[in-house]
Structure 1
């Protein structure tokens, strides 16, 4: 039998964990964001066993716990990757990554990629990861092979269906979904960041910070976004060839997004369509709402508390029978 102290500690710990869940925040546009720990990376990156609970890494990747995850060093013919262990299954999300592309040479390459694909942790020829991928790839390409009239570094998105091949000789031009030039993204004087925001069937937007702090440049945006696999792993990879650079991931922040205004607006429109009925509509808490969450929390703690009291009463009764 457990001692009463252990059961009491278990009860308090369970309540503390449940009550301490991050409920996120809501911005002025009514978009509520809830952090996803499973797809977030911050120093020191690794646990006491020198492993990451939520990410795998390989190739030439080196992790310096106080500073960066270096996908490749500034040396030729290197490649490295880091991928989430669990898929990103949120319907709407925002991924913000801080990174650095830097080196000493005037000639440099090749760049790094951000992935949301069915495949994971598979080295290959596309910025250090596999070709013929299924999902979305965002390429931060620093070396120009053959794209006349295009200013490099160039940031480009490609949507793979499992059969398309990335044409490295022409910097992926034939299969480009959207993209933008980002001169100054390498050896930048400010922290370089990319923010990818996705609302299923509604929008996809990529913004980049590299000119000034808190100044976001719109790279591309569409109201007809591609379909991203429902099971897609978040990853980053990089490669160097004859030319090289340091490709560092500093941090990754992923959030689940929820449009509160859209939900309220839908409810309001539904109520307005029944204009003849002027009676107030009774508000019902739906499963998944915060009211329902706290109700379940109180119920959960109540059950544990009742069990604890019953157990202590049983112990006291049993002790009294001994005399």
Structure 2
């Protein structure tokens, strides 16, 4: 009889443990926390890039930019003194967003090339200028993919760096933006056989993160993270490139932009769950029902075993 009671207790304990485990994992499931990613078609671009009227509904392009509908949007050819740009027609107003784009920088000269390209999140748009093909004294964020050193630096080139413009400060072109740099990293992004990509993730007033793919497919290298950064609420997404005495092909191949309705993982804090009295009673009632069911099954097992023992004694 003692052995049968032990079996009954273990049976009830096992079922209760399974119930608690399933309930806990359901509460921790991210799908229940309201996170979502919403594609932004207005700021995404793929082949063939243009419609039958040789236009794009959501983007403008100009200067020396050339579109090959089967391959790329070429901002500059490998020729001297070229500039090209590609800009969204609508501002990027989402609070939290991620822009991932594929690009390619290469040319005929393996030793002397430049100047580079940039991605922009600024209040102005489609204005050619001296800063990688865009105006100086801009307002907003510029991320520069600089392939040519104008002066001696402690880091190698290509170099990826960020600058936050206030509408008044000039870009320090003579020193490769050293006076303006918020953060940066060395990255061998030129002339790669693997697809080169950049992924820029922004959470409003919290942080900006840049990762690069240039070594292996789907191998993302952290470039930099900037905390407590604020990009203008109304900012246009743009791409531009510039060549001078040195040159390169600067291509944009695809752009994917998503809005993110979630809290950044690095600052996400658990929110205490506040259950109403009715939900608490419902949970308690469910547990009691489970225990009662387990006890009933245990009693059936106990009766069955007692019956078998009595039958064996008769013979």
TM-score normalised by the chain length of structure 1: 0.73
Spell out, residue by residue over 1:249-294, the C-alpha distance to the aligned partner (whole angstroms, 9 max, x if none). 00000000122798xx98952626xxxx53329xxxxxxxxxxxxx
Spell out, residue by residue over 1:188-216, the C-alpha distance to the aligned partner (whole angstroms, 9 max, x if none). 12000000001112221000000111110
Local SS of the residue matching 2:279: coil
Q: Check whether the contact 2:211–2:223 (CA below 8 A) recurs between aligned residues.
A: yes
Query: Which of 158, 161, 166 is the equivalent residue of 1:156?
Result: 161
Q: 1:32-181 alignment to 2 at 5 Å?
A: 32-105=36-109, 106-181=111-186
Spell out, residue by residue over 1:62-100, the C-alpha distance to the aligned partner (whole angstroms, 9 max, x if none). 001111000000000000001000000000000001000
Q: Check whether the contact 2:138–2:167 (CA below 8 A) recurs between aligned residues.
A: yes
Q: Summarize the Cα distance change of 1:103–1:159 in structure 2 as closer, same or farther, 3 Å threshold.
A: same
TM-score normalised by the chain length of structure 2: 0.75
Spell out, residue by residue over 1:223-268, the C-alpha distance to the aligned partner (whole angstroms, 9 max, x if none). 32x2111110000000000100000000000000122798xx9895
Equivalent residue number for residue 231 of structure 1: 234
Local SS of the residue matching 1:58: strand
Alignment gaps of 5+ in structure 2: 1-29, 281-315
Equivalent residue number for residue 262 of structure 2: 259
Equivalent residue number for residue 13 of structure 1: none
Q: Check whether the contact 2:206–2:230 (CA below 8 A) recurs between aligned residues.
A: no
Q: Summarize the Cα distance change of 1:261–1:64 in structure 2 as closer, same or farther, 3 Å threshold.
A: closer
RMSD: 2.2
Equivalent residue number for residue 218 of structure 2: 214
Q: Summarize the Cα distance change of 1:261–1:65 in structure 2 as closer, same or farther, 3 Å threshold.
A: closer
Query: Which of 187, 192, 195 is the equivalent residue of 2:191?
Result: 187
Between the aligned partners of 1:30 and 1:219, the Cα distance in structure 2 is 29
Equivalent residue number for residue 313 of structure 1: none
Local SS of the residue matching 2:142: strand
Structure having the higher Rg: 2
Q: Check whether the contact 1:112–1:237 (CA below 8 A) recurs between aligned residues.
A: yes
Local SS of the residue matching 1:174: coil
Q: Check whether the contact 1:123–1:130 (CA below 8 A) recurs between aligned residues.
A: yes
Between the aligned partners of 1:143 and 1:261, the Cα distance in structure 2 is 34
Q: Check whether the contact 1:115–1:137 (CA below 8 A) recurs between aligned residues.
A: yes
Alignment gaps of 5+ in structure 1: 1-25, 282-323
Q: Check whether the contact 1:208–1:216 (CA below 8 A) recurs between aligned residues.
A: yes
Between the aligned partners of 1:104 and 1:53, the Cα distance in structure 2 is 34
Between the aligned partners of 1:239 and 1:196, the Cα distance in structure 2 is 21
